[in-house]
Chain A
């Protein structure tokens, strides 16, 4: 148990579907992140939320829409995705402002777009 829980673990969706990925952290952290892990590419940071405010959008297409209703929950809403969006989506959290930027990761959601 890493303290960061992602659901679902696996998701298959068509290009016209709308789905959401959920992330919950039980660590009392104040920052949450979405990363994308594609085959043969470095992990890519997608979004950063500090104290529920989005502080970074790393040029992510608008078909990915994040939502952070509180500091413990983070969602990634998906619509009209493309097959190249198939990847492992990882959520992470960290406690900032203490000089220790260690991030805790969830187990990821394996997304397949068909």
Chain B
């Protein structure tokens, strides 16, 4: 069965520091990859996605992720975080046309002043 592993359950960082949230998959075959963010008491919002083509994808708010097929990873990075980036982050995958997403445990990013 396909699986997703988010290697860190919590990541505390200081404001303006760089951050990397790690995500690994059980298989890289025919895979669609996503990063979603969930703010407190909210639903999930799409940050960025990899469907095909360039393995480096960027979001509008400074995040980027790179699909590494050999390591089956899709780590999320930001060079300088803000307090407002405090949230929980998820990196689900799907490999079918049904859109069914398989989730990992999530990573709580806490940005301290």
Contacts and interface: CB of A to CB of B under 8 A. Distances in A.
Nearest to B95: A101
B34 A102 contact: yes
Interface in A2-50: 2, 4, 6, 31, 33, 40-45, 48, 50
Contact of B100 (A48, A90, A102): A48
A100 interface: yes
A42 B103 contact: yes
Interface in A89-112: 90, 92, 94, 96-97, 99-108, 110
B44 A105 contact: yes
Interface string A62-104: 0000000000000000000000000000101010110111111
Contacts of B94: 101
A31 B98 contact: yes
Interface in B58-113: 90, 92, 94, 96-106
Interface of A: 2, 4, 6, 31, 33, 40-45, 48, 50, 55-56, 90, 92, 94, 96-97, 99-108, 110
Interface of B: 4, 32, 34, 36, 41-46, 49, 51, 90, 92, 94, 96-106
Given A48-B100, A90-B43, A102-B46, 10 more contacts: A42-B4, A42-B104, A42-B106, A43-B101, A48-B99, A105-B43, A105-B44, A106-B43, A107-B41, A110-B41
